[in-house]
């Protein structure tokens, strides 16, 4: 069976779709599939609209002898993939990692509502957002199967009007982060001092870094603690100014974007990983951190409760809840014996997202719908 994968991101680009596409490209051939990946990056240098036309043509050219076209998002590659499936008569499968319309509305169109509010009034945010909402819903409704990474995302896609019986949950696979050295060696190498907290994400408002920094400024009055922020993004200058305002420059370090090897190493040497996020479909990063063995404090949003049981695999708090976040971190600092137990539970939980399990489910899905 031949599978053509349409992906918006592909190495050396980074991101969930790039990791997912690479996994399928490497693992499915061993199960008898012929896999061809068509990255959107091949046409990204063209002007807008033109690039989508050219991509549709390239995808059509690569799909003449395929059995299934598998698109990894509902818009940039999803719509071209749907068109090509109509032209060629091939089976069209769609993976939806999250609500693209909501993400774009936040980043580009000034929408500040969280996803659970946004989906209740999807067509009330202006023409551009409404067009994106219509597009992702239209593409998903016309797919033979819609794959989602969590039951939370399944609920979101149902709100688009997609038949729930046509939506299948296949969790994201663990792609272990490489590390260099033991916990002690890494701390010496990276000059980690005191109780070290790491947070890693794109520096955008819905990752809650401002509240994390406010909480951290209060922790500094209570104990010896250090904060490492990994990533870059539009809020970087604002966050650095906040660090200066609170006189924390010697206790907060911004590393910028790191390679996967350096990211894994930085996390392994930390005492706690904190992700104050407004939304996660199913976080690859949290699975990776659980596998590494660094305890987690994160938010009770999206797919996070499907990964983490509060007090068992980590600690869950409401998004941007200053007091709850502070108390959770203090609890982690004051109870190292509980963190050791949580780390063991989290590592065991991460194994349930093994690549072998996920690939088997994808294999079964592809054979079932083809």
For 38-59, give the DSSP string: EEGGGTTTSPTTHHHHHHHHHH
Each residue's pLDDT, cut to its tens digit, for the chain (370 residues) gives 999 999 999 888 877 788 899 999 999 999 999 999 999 999 999 998 899 999 999 999 999 889 999 999 999 999 999 999 999 999 999 999 999 999 889 888 888 888 888 998 889 999 999 999 999 999 999 999 999 999 999 999 999 999 999 999 999 898 888 899 999 999 999 999 999 999 999 898 889 999 999 999 999 999 999 999 999 999 999 999 999 999 999 999 999 999 889 999 999 999 999 999 998 888 889 999 999 999 999 999 999 999 999 999 999 999 999 999 999 999 999 999 999 999 999 999 999 999 999 999 999 999 999 8
Tell me what pLDDT residue 353 has: 92
What pLDDT sits at residue 17? 85
Closest residue by Cα to residue 356 from 180, 196, 176, 223: 176
Same domain, 188 and 124: no
**What local confidence, expressed as pLDDT, does residue 194 receive?**
92
Between CA 110 and CA 108 the distance in angstroms is 6
DSSP H or E stretch at residue 71: strand 68-71
Question: Do residues 245 and 141 share a domain?
Answer: no
Tokens 């590390």: give the residue. 179
Specify whether the CB–CB gap between 226 and 197 falls below 8 A: yes
Residue 178 lies in a domain: no
Check whether residue 142 and residue 236 sit in a common domain. Answer: no
* Whether residue 200 sits in one domain with residue 163: no
Give me the long-range contacts of 312-319 (CB less than 8 A, separation at least 24). Answer: 312/342, 312/345, 313/342, 313/345, 313/346, 313/349, 314/290, 314/342, 314/346, 319/114, 319/208, 319/276, 319/277, 319/278
Range of the domain at 57: 2-173+354-369
DSSP β-bridge partners for residue 254? 229
233 occurs within a structural domain:
yes
Pairing outcome for strands 296-299 and 315-317: parallel
Residues 204 and 344 both lie in one domain: yes
Same domain, 215 and 307: yes
Q: From the CB of residue 180, how many other CB atoms can be counted at a distance below 10 Å?
A: 13
Same structural domain, 196 and 261 = yes
* Distance, CA of 362 to CA of 355 (rounded, Å): 10
Distances (CA, A) of 164 to 64, 85, 157, 300, 342: 30, 22, 8, 24, 34
CATH of the domain at 210: 3.40.50.2000
Cα–Cα distance measured from residue 279 to residue 353, given in angstroms and rounded to the nearest whole number: 20
Based on the fold, state whether residues 228 and 291 are members of the same structural domain. Answer: yes
- Amino acid 15: pLDDT: 74
Distance CA 309, CA 27 (A): 30
Strand partners, 113: none
Same domain, 165 and 263: no
Are 187 and 253 in the same domain? yes
| 82 closest CA partner among 100, 63, 97, 99 | 63
- 108 within domain boundaries: yes
Tell me if 287 is assigned to some domain: yes
The per-residue pLDDT for 16 is: 78
């Amino acid at each position: 069976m031949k599978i053509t994968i349409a992906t918006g991101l592909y190495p050396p680009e980074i991101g969930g779709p790039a990791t997912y596409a690479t996994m399928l490209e490497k693992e499915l051939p061993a199960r008898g599939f012929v896999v061809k990946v068509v990255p959107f990056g091949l046409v990204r240098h063209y002007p807008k609209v033109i690039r989508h036309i050219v991509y549709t043509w390239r995808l059509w050219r690569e799909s003449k002898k395929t059995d299934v076209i598998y698109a990894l998002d509902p818009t940039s590659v999803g719509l071209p993939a749907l068109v090509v499936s109509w032209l060629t008569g091939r089976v069209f499968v769609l993976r939806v990692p999250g609500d693209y319309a909501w993400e774009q509305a936040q980043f580009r169109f000034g929408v500040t509502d969280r996803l659970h509010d946004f989906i209740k009034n999807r067509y009330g945010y202006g023409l551009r957002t409404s067009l994106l909402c219509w597009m992702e819903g239209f593409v998903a409704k016309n797919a033979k199967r819609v794959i989602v990474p969590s039951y939370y995302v399944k609920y979101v896609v149902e709100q688009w009007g997609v038949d729930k019986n046509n939506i299948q949950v296949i969790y994201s696979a663990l792609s272990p982060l490489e590390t260099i050295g033991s916990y002690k060696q890494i701390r010496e190498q990276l000059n980690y001092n005191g109780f070290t907290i790491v947070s890693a994400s794109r520096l955008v408002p819905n990752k809650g870094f401002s509240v994390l920094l406010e909480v951290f400024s209060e922790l500094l009055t209570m104990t010896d603690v250090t904060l490492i922020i990994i990533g870059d993004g539009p809020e970087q200058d604002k966050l650095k100014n906040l660090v200066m305002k609170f006189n924390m420059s010697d206790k907060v370090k911004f590393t910028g974007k790191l390679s996967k090897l350096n990211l894994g190493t930085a996390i392994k040497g930390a005492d706690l990983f904190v992700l104050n996020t407004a939304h996660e479909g199913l976080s690859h990063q949290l699975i990776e951190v659980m596998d590494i063995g660094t305890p987690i404090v994160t938010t009770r949003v999206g797919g996070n409760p499907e990964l983490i049981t509060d007090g068992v695999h980590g600690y869950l708090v409401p998004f941007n809840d200053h007091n709850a976040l502070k108390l959770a971190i203090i609890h982690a600092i004051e109870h190292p014996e509980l963190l050791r137990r949580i780390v063991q539970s989290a590592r065991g939980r991460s194994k349930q997202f093994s690549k072998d399990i996920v690939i088997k489910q994808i294999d079964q899905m592809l054979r079932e719908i083809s």
